[in-house]
Structure 1
Amino acid sequence: MKIDHVVTGGPCWVELGSAEPAAAKEFYRELFGWRAETDPRPEAGGYTVLQLDGAPVAALSPLYAPGQPTAWTVSFAVEDADATAAAVTAAGGRVVLGPLDVFDAGRFAVVADRGGAVFSLWQPRAFRGAAVLNRPGALGWVELQTRDPAAACHFYPAVFDWSVTAGEHYTQWGVAGADFGGMTTLGEQVPPEVRPHWLPYFAVADVDAVVHRATGLGARTLLGVTDVPDGPRIAVLSDPQGAVFGVHLAGTEG
């Protein structure tokens, strides 16, 4: 990611909905050193902010709806959640939830693109989002995995005015001249039950060491440590509860 702070249109937050929040807290504390701080208000529903050296970097919550999978959700910063949600539907996507106010922190909506990949919109008020990006232990890259890349290349620029840089093997998304994420295609070899989704990557100082530590804590390796041609060293993991995320060598992305 070539941005190290929250900008409008870029990724601003990442949130894990888990069937076992207590176990997830322990796993990510051991893996990334995140400290969990749960909002004590009953109306907050157990929402927990995960901090790196005292700075908010991610969140964790119980599953709020029947059938909700244990998964990470990526949020993008917007100036007006209602207007952007309307732009999502105009571009062929759908609104899953909201827009709704979150106390005085901001306003959000959960939406899906034309292919069904779910993500969130965040209109900041008192809370802007991640205080740290693109450094070890923080969100460093986001990747859309889709079965219809052509539709995605129309949808996201229409909603967010993103730039699209299509290389020989990989397409990258950018905002305000800085790339922050990319896109891969779920081909026929990928089982149909794997739905289009946004995959967060966390920056780390040593990919091999983090993968070794994660598997020792009960994670599964979905993509072993790989050096991407002209790109970073990466791996993709599934935490013990089944949430999928990636890690990449800090400072080599994009």
Structure 2
Amino acid sequence: MNGVEPGTPCWADLATPGLEDAQRFYPQLFGWTGRVSPDPAAGGYTIFLKDGKAVAGAGPPASPDQVPIWSTYVATDDADLVATRVETAGGQVVVAPFDVLDQGRMAVLADPAGAVFSVWQPMAMRGAELFNEPGSMCWNELVTPDPDRAKEFYALVFGWHPEERPAGPVTYTGWRCGARIVAGMMPQLEPLPGDLPAYWSVFFAVADADAIAARAAELGGTILVPPRDNPAGRTAALRDPHGALFHITALR
């Protein structure tokens, strides 16, 4: 398998009814350029590039009633096997594994608390080509009302091992895959209005969290949680003009 190792978040994309707005908003926010697929079957799917390297994607929603959402993709060398593990572990196969043209094979899945994520088995497209640099994905985090159940589920599905660390009034969990902590988890204390009680968050690295949050508001987005310091850096939670949640972090 080329690219990101199995069990590691490798891609993020946005499903939104406001694709044209997203094609304007995110390039103005992060300095991305957009490359729209010429294949009519792709529905205008757009690969966002930072310094010529793929960092994220955006496309139309799978159904008209789907809320705008950023999705985390975890790399795998067998999407069908992961889907089977998800069902065995008490999760749900939302969209069964299928080939995305010649780019890769994917499935949309949900854990027992309803947090939706995807897996990506690469073919022509391996996933993101840049991480942990301004304008690229730097972290993925599960927010859930049932951390104990999540620990069992993701251990069975991806072989992740939880490592807990105190983080103020709550316990933060790092997901270890092999030698690396590849993602995180924290308990959901107050569900966001209109959102599921469990969800995966996508974080993008920025040079200045305060400036990017202010710029997002200027461009029609919303500052959900203003920039604040944490052990990883300075982080804010934002919504784009159509309501899709994402985070930014100025890494330490």
The alignment's TM-score, normalised by the length of structure 1, stands at 0.93
> 1:79-123: per-residue Cα shift (whole Å, max 9, x none)?
100001100111110101120011221110000001000000101
How much does 1:191 deviate? 5.4
Match runs of 1:148-163 below 5 Å: 148-163=146-161
Deviation at 1:17, TM superposition (A): 0.6
Quick one: distance in 1 between partners of 2:244 and 2:37? 22
* 1:245 equivalent in structure 2: 246
* Aligned with 1:53 (options 51, 63, 83): 51
Structure 1 Cα separation of the partners of residues 224 and 214 of structure 2: 13
TM-score by length of 2: 0.94
Instruction: Give yes or no for the alignment of 1:172 onto 2:174.
Output: yes
Match of 1:43?
Answer: 41
2:109 to 99, 111, 131: 111
% identical aligned pairs = 42
Aligned ranges 1:17-96 → 2 under 5 Å: 17-96=15-94
Structure 1 segment 131-150 matched on structure 2, within 5 A: 131-150=129-148
Letter in 1 for 2:220: G
* CA displacement, residues 54-88 of structure 1 (integer Å, 9 cap, x when unaligned): 11110010123131111101100001000011001
Offset at residue 232 of structure 1 (A): 1.7
Q: Secondary structure at the match of 1:16?
A: strand
Q: What is aligned with 1:207? A: 209
Structure 1 residues 42 and 223: alpha-carbon distance in aligned structure 2, compared to 1, 3 A threshold:
same
Letter in 2 for 1:218: G
Q: 1:137 deviation in Å?
A: 0.4
Amino acid at match of 1:241: H
CA distance 1:225–1:143, change in 2 (3 Å)? same
The AA in structure 2 aligned to 1:56 is A
The Cα shift of 1:192 comes to 7.1
How many residues are aligned here? 245
When structure 1 is superposed on structure 2, of 171-180 and 147-156 the one drifting more is 171-180
1:99 equivalent in alignment to 2:97: yes
Question: Separation in 1 of the partners of 2:150 and 2:14?
Answer: 24
Structure 2: tracts of 5 or more residues without a match: none
SS of aligned partner of 1:168: strand
Counterparts of 1:63 and 1:192, CA distance in 2: 20
Aligned to 2:131, what secondary structure does the other structure show? coil
Structure 2 letter corresponding to 1:50: F
RMSD: 1.3
Q: Distance in 2 between matches of 1:224 and 1:51?
A: 26
